[in-house]
Chains A and B, each alone.
Chain A
Amino acid sequence: MTEQNTQSTSEVELLSFRLADEEYSVDIMSVREIRGWTRATPLPHAPAHVRGVINLRGTVLPVVDLSVRLGMAPVEGDARNVIIVVQVGSQTAGLLVDAVSDILALPRSELQTPPELAADTAHSFIEALTIVEGRMIRVLDLTAVLPDDTAEAA
């Protein structure tokens, strides 16, 4: 979650979305907009999870295939997919996901820290877990998904 609202509110709003039949979510405060799928221009020699760049009203927006980032198979990329434009710190990026499902408002107290399971790449990207109507929803740590340094790339 972003720093500015960690302690200040007891409620948290999450944008949930589907990725390989699993439900994930991000803090809605970091979501700038949601866009339909457009073909991304691939970046040579970029990490596998970097799908490429798209034209977001005149600016060049990198698109991350969240599925690959979390260690799963790439998202197919067709008209059903959506790109969630998020901002983390000074960085703006698009997250390619299967579909956006819901906006959930829940008390912060219902978020649980995930248990430690070292064998999982996706684990370090998950900040919290919660159960909504029987579905487990993973809350992503965007600062881990989109590291702000350049060391990881290239």
Chain B
Amino acid sequence: MSLSLTIARRELRGGIRGFWVMLLCLMLGVAAIASVGLVRSAIERALSDQGAVLLGGDAQYEFTYRRAKPDELQWITDHATAVSEVIDFRSMLSTGIDPADRALTQVKAVDGAYPLTGKLQLDPPVTPQALKGEGGVPGIFLDPILADRLGLKPGDKVQLGGQDFVMMARIVREASGAVGKEVRLRTEGEATEVDKTVIERLADPLTHMIRNAVDHGLETPEKRQAAGKPPEGVITLSAQHRSGRVVIEVVDDGAGINRPKVRQIAIDKGLISPDAALSDTEIDNLLFLPGFSTADQVSALSGRGVGMDVVRSAIQSLGGRITITSEPGKGTRFSISLPLTLAVLDGMVVNVAGETLVVPLSAILETATLSSDDIRSLGPETNVIHVRGAFVPLYDLGAELGYRSPKSSYDGGIVLLTAQENGARSALVVDAIMEQRQVVIKGLQRSYGHIPGVAAATILGDGQIALILDPADLVQNATGRTRSADFALAG
């Protein structure tokens, strides 16, 4: 076995002769080994879940900020049938013409053995050998997004850390060879809005389900071709709103659930009795039983003791349901249905004295900017505003909530005109209107009893909690102080 590696430097100023360079917007993977079973079991535990998905071989070693030492590399080459070394780093890529045309990129430097397994699809369809470059200038492959952004096409020159490269091709796809399967992940409805908290808690179950689909759902290219399907399997991850719920589906076009096998495993594990009469759906649902795994062999991708039962309990904890449908030879579909209305409210997000608050849109009649002519003093500390022939009491939200004292003047202030159930109107002064959005209602803990004017809370996109106001309740408990006795207001 030959390693075409000579040197590698994180800093490119000294040149990186001996390495070919590809540029990707996103990549991971350092040294990949196509190894034998023996090493595999030992290394499996060390493999990170995510790394394995894009792994170019059976096992991968990662070293941070350094290359493998000679003895480490020796051990790896001794145990592996083939080794490919890859160096990952970040560097600034520029076109060398306009200093503004530059982008921080993730660089993946590969050796001659790349790609060890899996496929690299390029446009134009050159081989990785094209990275040798032309005219003494080394070659480079670029991610299409990056190439478009910098307006580069094959044949163009780029600079990476002072070294010239010639762009040889765009990277159409870098496919994984980790499980000997060809996979394309399609996503639909990525823009579907779900509460951020739900997304956070969905990430792990979804990762597991996609891995599951690659590992258990899809067949090898040979088997697929034998079944008259394209060699490349497709996993579709879709999200959509459906009758007040969010439905997220993970669909593969693989072999479907092997029901006799599932049944046999359940019998072997004592989960069902051998003579149990089960419908297809009941058999499919056996997958959700704790500790169930249908893979003959535990693989690097899934099957590390975390079963679909964990996925299901994660979904259930979000108030969701998960269902499974499968057709032999056609594929498997996992549907997750989550309540959208955990309690969703259309609200207007406003800022008052540096605090972010949400006012239910349903309570707001209109918004207005005050001019000094609108404001009339009522009592020594109170004001009314004159709106369309009617006098409406003015309340300063910041003062009512105890964030600040009443302002000296409300000229130019923004008010939300709200209506109570009995039709009485009131004007609430806010500092700024930020946006209108749907928010998920979160209850405040009961230990603080009833907070006048506050109905609930919500978590905004930045993770901060904002209080949801109940304008009618606020007004009932309000003082109406919009003036300090010291200040005389217009009107």
| A residues in contact (CB < 8 Å) with B | 39-47, 50, 52-55, 57-62, 91-93, 146-148, 150-151, 153-154
Contact = CB atoms under 8 A, between A and B. Distances in A.
Contacts of B467: 41, 43-44
B445 interface: yes
A150 B449 contact: yes
10 contacts: A41-B467, A43-B454, A45-B401, A58-B197, A59-B442, A60-B442, A62-B444, A62-B447, A91-B445, A154-B452
Contacts of B338: none
Interface string B436-464: 00000011111111111110010100011
Contact of B447 (A45, A55, A148): A148
B200 interface: yes
Contact of B451 (A43, A57, A147): A43
Interface in B456-477: 457, 459, 463-467
Interface of B: 197, 200-201, 355, 400-403, 442-454, 457, 459, 463-467
Majority secondary structure of chain A interface residues (helix, strand, loop or mixed): loop
A46 B200 contact: no
B443 A154 contact: no
Most-contacted residue by chain A among B401, B442, B465, B466 (CB, 10 A): B465
A46 B450 CA distance: 9
A120 B255 CA distance: 73
A151 B467 CA distance: 22
B403 A44 contact: yes
Contacts, number: 83
B465 A53 contact: yes
Given A53-B457, A60-B442, A41 B464 contact: yes
Contact of B355 (A41, A45, A58): A41
B434 to A, nearest CB: 15
B445 A39 contact: no
Contact of B443 (A55, A60, A148, A150): A60
A122 B464 CA distance: 32
A98 to B, nearest CB: 23
Top 9 closest pairs, chain A to chain B, by CB: A58-B197, A44-B401, A153-B449, A154-B449, A150-B449, A41-B465, A153-B448, A60-B442, A60-B457
Nearest to B448: A153
Given A52-B465, A61-B445, A92-B445, 8 more contacts: A44-B400, A44-B451, A45-B451, A53-B445, A58-B442, A62-B447, A93-B445, A146-B447
Nearest to B474: A44
Contact of A154 (B442, B448, B464): B448
B466 A41 contact: yes
A151 B448 CA distance: 9
Given A53-B465, A60-B445, A60-B465, A154 B454 contact: no
B448 A58 contact: no
Interface hub of A40, A44, A93 (most chain B Cβ within 10 A)? A44
A53 B356 CA distance: 13
A58 B199 CA distance: 11
Contacts of A57: 197, 200
Contacts of A62: 444-445, 447-448
Given A59-B442, A91-B445, A54 B465 contact: yes
A93 B447 contact: yes
A46 B464 CA distance: 19
A92 B197 CA distance: 19
A128 B395 CA distance: 49
Nearest to B198: A58
Given A41-B466, A53-B465, A60-B465, A154 B355 contact: no
Given A44-B402, A60-B457, A55 B446 contact: no
A60 to B, nearest CB: 5
Contacts of B448: 43, 46-47, 50, 62, 150, 153-154
Contacts of A45: 401-402, 451-452
Given A60-B442, A60-B444, A148-B447, A42 B454 contact: no
A41 B466 CA distance: 7
Contacts of A146: 447
A35 to B, nearest CB: 13
Nearest to B452: A45
Given A55-B459, A57-B197, A60-B457, A44 B452 contact: yes
